[in-house]
Structures are given as C-alpha cells and as structure tokens.
Structure 1
Amino acid sequence: MRCWNLPMGCMLSLGKNMVDRDLADPRIWIPVVGDCNLDPMGRITSTSAVKGTGSTTRGWSCCKNSCSWSNKAPVDSPVISCDNMDNLGANPARRDGCDSGGSSYACSDLSPWAKSNDLAYGFAGVNLVASNETAWCCSCYSLTFTSGPVNGKKMIVQVVNTGSDLADDQFDLAIPGGGQGATGGCAKQFGGPDVWGAEYGGISHREDCDTLPDPLKAGCYWRFDWFRNADNPTVSWEKVTCPQDLSFVSGCRRNDDPIPGQSTSTPPPTPTKSAPIASGTVAQGGQCGGRNYRGPTVCVTGTVCTFYTEDTYYCLPDPASTRSTPITTVPTPAATIGQPWDQCGGQGFTGPTKCKDSVCKSMDQWYWQCQPSSTYVPPASSTPPAVSSKPATQNPVWSFTRPHRTPPAQTPTRPSTQPPTSTKPNQPTGTIAQLYDQCGGMTYQGPTRCVQGLSCVYVDDYYSQCQRPSKRSPKFRKE
C-alpha cells in the first residue's frame, strides 16, 4: 500500500517499515518519528511530541516518582525522593514506599506554586502518545488552560512521573490532597487520621487542606487559590526549556536541555574531583558524581553516592544499612562537631555528638538531630544519653524539620529558613499587600497591611506573607 499527500511526520505502515514520503521527491520514502491518527473525516493527521492539545487530572499518591529511579533518562541526576519523614536524600535505588518493604516517597518540595496571577510552576506525570519515558522524564511543558475557571492561565510543569494509566496526551498535575489513588501511599508515609479525601480527586474544600501534614498545605491551598479549584481542565501544551527554578527544586535536568541564559560556547568550571583511595573507589565524604563530573563514581563499602546539588554527589553513609530515618545530605567527613540538621546520636551512630549553634534532640532511638534554637547556648558537653537496644514500640509524632528547596534569587512563596531575596522594588509603605505578597520581615520596607480577609502570617524572621486564615490541624503519628 502507498499513500500520497500525507503530512510530514506521519508514519505509514509498509510491511515492517515505518516510512513517509519525501515531499521534495515523491519517489523517495524516508523513516520518520511521529504517529498517525484519523480525523472525523477519515483523513490521516500527524501527532507531535513537542506540542498539541490534551487533558489534565490531579493527584498526589505520595509514592516514589518514576523519574526518581536511576537510568530512566539522560539527566544529571534523578528526581529527588524522600524518606517517610519527608527528609531529602533517599537512595535512588531504594524501593518505592508504596511497595512492600519500601521506604522511598515523593518529596513535598514537588508541590505547585504561583509565580504570578497568570503563571504557575509545578510538576506532573504524563502519557504523551508520540513520546516515551526516556524522552519526557525531567522535560518541561508549558500548559495553557483552555477550559474552566483557569481558562487562559498558564502553568509550566516538569515531568517527574510516568502515568501508565493515563489517557493519550494527559497531564496528571501533582497537587497535594488531590487524591492518593488506589495505592494509599500517603497513609503509608504519614500515618495518622484519614484526611486524604476521595481516592481519586482528593479533598473537596479549602479548609480540608488545614488537616494535611504541614509541608503539603501550601500546595493544597494553591489548588483552591491560584488554580480556582478547576476540575480537570483541558490544555494546549508545548515542550519548552525548563526554567531553572523547576530543575533546582526537582534536582533533575536533562543533558539535552540548555540552561536558560547560559552560553554553550563557554564550558562551566570543572568541579573538584575527589581522589580515589584504591581501584577507582571514593572515600566517605568524597565527590562521586554531578553535572560534568568525570571522576570515579564507586563509593567505599558502607557508603552510597548521594545527591547534594546538581553539580555534586558525595559518598555518604548508606541509610538503608540501618533503617529509614532522616539523613543529612551535607558531606561532613571526619567532622568533630555537628552542623544544624546533622545527625548527632542514635543507636549505632559513631559520628560527632556535639552540635554547633543548635541542640541535639531525639527523634527516635535510631536518630538524634542538631536542631537550631535561637535561645540555646551549647554547653561544654552535649552528648545524648545512651539509647536502649530494644526495638522501639512506638514511632514519634511526625514532624517536618527542613525547609523546601527554594531556587536561588527568588522570594519564596513557601516556608524557608533562609533570608529570601526579592527582585521586586520596595513598595510605598502606604499601599496594601495582596494575596501571597510579602508583608513583613527583617530589613523589609514594603507594605505591612494585607487586603481585607487576609492575615499577615509569619514564615521566618526574614519573611511574612499575606495568606488566608487557616485552622489548626491534627498531629500525625506514625502507626
């Protein structure tokens, strides 16, 4: 069979070969990439892996994302994953927490946020008919909503998951409280009361967000604020270069995706390579990977190559050798004093037990952590008491002890322990701040009053934000 006058990019099945006609010379047939569909008139049309129209859904399963596994795509590092207390640094090879015996989950950092009234950033799972997982993992797509209350608004999403159960050209937006699906992953990760709403679709009202674990609340509120509680709007979509904000938060950037504003003619500075100790292995604390890194990548026994930044991985103690507990991603080989958020004690721990500008607090029998306190003055000795070798009979109250990953030079719209850097000029003190605008903080000189119905909510010493009032939420306890 031969078909003529077809759109370039449409595949025709001629025996076992997938070919198309060269429009410059009808006698020549060439291999192409694409797919074939029929329109209502029975005519063949072509689909594309770079732009098209499609649909959306929402969900937040808490399960490990598909693109968090190694070797899924040509990227500098897999998408970040977290342990059951939402701490960064889970080994990419660690089993999905939604599977039996697994302990790796999606990080709350992958929640959506508003960049402006008409633009938002976020993450999604996809199924693109003319593409595949190798091509879409950590790729970015600009979505223009074409229906519902967000008609005309735009959202740029980075793909972090593969939706095997999605329809063709469907984007499943990662929205906390949007439905945990049949796996029940959020109940497995957080325990506590059932606050997750319907299996598909999730919670129904904004006040229901108040009952979610703290790190998921902001993304849940986003659904009812910026997203206007839109229910699966349609979109027109187009593949775009990933904004640095998205790739910074996810920890993943494709090797074929240029960094905006960076000339490819000037190579980036060569990172410092860790010296191998024997047979190409890297000592604990040494560098073992990262963008443009070309040194040894095999860590000594008992350590694992762990993500730290896009440019650096370090050989750190493998948390999987003990159990799933909060871990630090800051390399501190041969340290004599722990930094804030470092481990400082616990059964089997042999590192430093003194903390700098922080206090060593017990999380459970396996893990003590240096937690900052503005009023705490470290004594001469802050060694935690000995812990029992008996198995724990009760897990601790779930608590969130780290800030979200906030892109550099960006005023955060989510809690951060670092002073935010705002690119907005100082506003006259006589104006009134709008929803999600800054309204206070050290060195801040802008408006401190919020529009009626909003409250100026303290985030940290450097940042307060106009937010809608929220109710107090129940505590979560691992069961």
Structure 2
Amino acid sequence: MRRLLFLLAAIAGQTLAQTKAKSYTGWDCCKPLCATVNGKNDLLRSRGVVSVCDKNNKVQELQAGIRANTGCSSGGSAYMCDTYAPIPVSDDLSYGFAIHVTDNQNGDNPSCCKCHEVTWLTGAAANKTMVVQIVTPGGSGGDVKKNDLILLTPGGGVGPLSSGCTSQYGNSYSWGETRGGVKNREACEKLPANLQGGCYWRFNWARGEINGWDISYRQVACPSILKEISGCEAKLN
C-alpha cells in the first residue's frame, strides 16, 4: 500500500511539473542574459554560463564574454551566436534555445540553462516536440504572458531591442515585423545567409508562424548537443 501511494505521488508530481503556456518567436541578436553572472562564481561552478559571440559569430573566451556588454547597447561587443538557431532532428523532434518569460530578468535567474521538452497542443505543429534550453529570462508584454516561451528563431521578430541585429549585421537586411518577424518562407531570403536555415525551420518543420500556439512543457535533462553549444546546464529540480 505504501509503495502504491508513493507511485501515485510521483505521478502527481510529474503532472504538476507540466506547464501550459504559449509559444512565440524572437531573434534580437543581443547577448543572452544568462551569459551574465554578476560575480557569482557559484553559478559558474554549478551550471556554467551561456556562451556569447563577437560580431562575426566567433565564440568569445569565457571571461571576456561575461564582461562584454551586449551589442544591443552602444559600444557593446557581445552578440547571440548563430548556433542558437533551431536544429531539426526528425519530422517530429527539434532542438533549440528559448527565452523564458518571467518576472526576474537577471542573469542569476534559476531558469537559466534549464532544458524543457515542449509539446505543441495547437497549431500546425500540434503533437510535435522540441527540446529547448533557456538562455535568456524575458519580460511579458502584449500577448506574451508569464511562463510563455519565446523560441530563438532568426527572423522571428527583434522585439523592443531593434538595434542589435543592425549592429551585428548592418543595414542591408529585412528582419520582418518587430513582433512576429517574417511572415513566410520567401522572406527568410532577406536575412543574412548564415541565419536563413534557422528561419526556414519555422515554415518547413513547424509549418507556420508558431506565435500564439498552445504548448505544454516540462523540465528534462539537456541533450549533449545543446550543452555543447551553450556551454552550460542547470540541474534537474
């Protein structure tokens, strides 16, 4: 009887761990907030720190990346690496990175470096799965609410920080609408060549704009490919 109660409690715990929310897209080229530890060396030891790149998408040395200001501010030299674009694995599975919408937008946010298994409940990607790692805690606004996930997708919308992609890539590209980004596959061709594949992912794999689709997600262990790209991993709760 005691064993049965334990199993039922474990199942209930798994159910509670599921979060219902909505998915959105974004790509502002800014330095991920989880790349800043504010002198808290315990974070470096326990989870690592998110990798950042220079203007040419070369990964910066760890301490240089931590100290560098974001390219979304004047004189900043740290940007989002192009390797944070989505990675299709099969017709029903992709890997990638995301912004977790939360009240705390600091680099020591406990969401940083956690991985979540996301399942779409509505939209053209219904029943498809994506494992994402959180590299930035973001704020809510407009239709985007607390606990929503903003998937890092080139051409997914630059949001309120519109200067980052211009600073990194220049003025020759069209990034689409501020919120929502490009509206079709053809518009991906107006992005830098190294980002076009990540933009096509939205229309080829997810088969739509993704914004506002219902999702359910739960924390999982990070796949090795995501850890290799980001340089960090948070422990399972």
Same-fold call, TM > 0.5? yes
Percent identity, please.
35
Letter in 2 for 1:119: L
Contact 2:18–2:216 (Cα < 8 Å) also in 1: yes
Give the equivalent residue in structure 2 for 1:89: 60
1:119 aligns with 2:90: no
Amino acid at match of 1:175: T
Name 1:214's counterpart in structure 2: 193
* Paired residues of 2:173 and 2:190 also in contact (CA < 8 A): no
- 1:141-176 deviations in Å (ceiling 9; x for gaps): 011100011111011100000112351211010000
**Relative to structure 1, is the Cα distance of residues 147 and 77 closer, same or farther in structure 2, using a 3 angstrom cutoff?**
same
Q: Matched residues in 1 for 2:233 and 2:160: separation? A: 30
Alpha-carbon separation, structure 2, partners of 1:202 and 1:177: 5
User: Residue 169 of structure 1 aligns with which residue?
Assistant: 147
Shift of 1:213: 1.2
Cα distance change, pair 49–111 in 1 and its aligned pair in 2 (3 A): farther
Q: CA deviation at 1:211?
A: 2.3
Larger radius of gyration: 1
Structure 1 residue ranges, 4+ long, deviating more than 6 angstroms after superposition = none
SS at the partner of 2:90? coil
- After superposition, what is the alpha-carbon deviation per residue over 1:406-440, rounded to whole angstroms, capped at 9, x for unaligned? xxxxxxxxxxxxxxxxxxxxxxxxxxxxxxxxxxx
Shift of 1:182: 2.4
What is the alpha-carbon root mean square deviation over aligned residues? 2.4
- Separation of aligned partners in 2, 1:155 and 1:129: 24
- The residue correspondences of 1:30-45 to structure 2 (distance < 5 A) are none
- The structure, 1 or 2, with the larger RCO (C-alpha pairs under 8 Å, 6+ apart) is 2
Partner of 2:119: 144
Which of 39, 47, 52 pairs up with 2:19?
Answer: 52
Cα distance in structure 1, aligned partners of 2:102 and 2:171: 36
Distance 1:49 1:243, change over 3 A: farther
- Counterparts of residues 103-118 of structure 1 (less than 5 Å): 103-118=77-92
Report the equivalent of 2:202: 223
In the TM superposition, residue 83 of structure 1 has moved relative to its aligned partner by: 0.9
Q: Which amino acid aligns with 1:181?
A: G
Where does residue 161 of structure 2 map in the other structure?
A: 183
The answer to whether the Cα contact below 8 Å between 2:101 and 2:139 also exists between their aligned partners in 1 is: yes
Matched residues in 1 for 2:17 and 2:78: separation? 31
1:257 and 1:245 map into 2 onto residues whose CA distance is 17
- Residues in 2 aligned to 1:176 and 1:49: alpha-carbon distance in whole angstroms: 32
Name the CA distance, whole Å, in 2 between partners of 1:159 and 1:63: 14
The structure-2 alpha-carbon separation of the partners of 1:219 and 1:49, relative to structure 1 and needing over 3 Å to count, comes to farther
1:238 alignment partner in structure 2: 218
Equivalent position of 2:50 in the other structure = 79
**TM-score of the superposition, structure 2-length normalised?**
0.81
Counterpart contact for 2:96–2:133, Cα < 8 Å: yes
Q: Give distance in 1, aligned partners of 2:16 and 2:175.
A: 34
Cα distance between partner residues in 2 of 1:68 and 1:244: 19
TM-score calculated relative to the size of structure 1: 0.41
Q: 1:196 to 1:136 in 2, by over 3 A?
A: same
In structure 1, the residue matched to 2:4 is: none
Residue of structure 2 equivalent to 1:69: 36
Matched, 1:250 2:221: no
Alignment of 1:338-377 (within 5 A): none
SS in 1 for 2:196: helix
- CA–CA distance in structure 2, aligned partners of residues 129 and 214 of structure 1: 35
- CA distance in 2 between partners of 1:161 and 1:49 (Å): 24
Partner of 1:418: none
Offset at 1:95? 0.5
Letter paired with 1:88: V
Question: In the TM superposition, what is the alpha-carbon distance from 1:245 to its structure 2 partner?
Answer: 1.2
Q: Give the drift of 1:56.
A: 1.2
Q: How far off its partner does 1:128 sit?
A: 5.0
Q: State the one-letter code of the partner of 2:21.
A: G
Q: Contact 1:49–1:128 at 8 Å: present in 2 too? A: no
Unaligned 5+ segments in structure 2 are: 1-14
Aligned to 1:205: 184
Which consecutive residues of structure 1, in runs of 5 or more, have no partner in the other structure?
1-47, 259-479
TM superposition shift of 1:225: 0.4
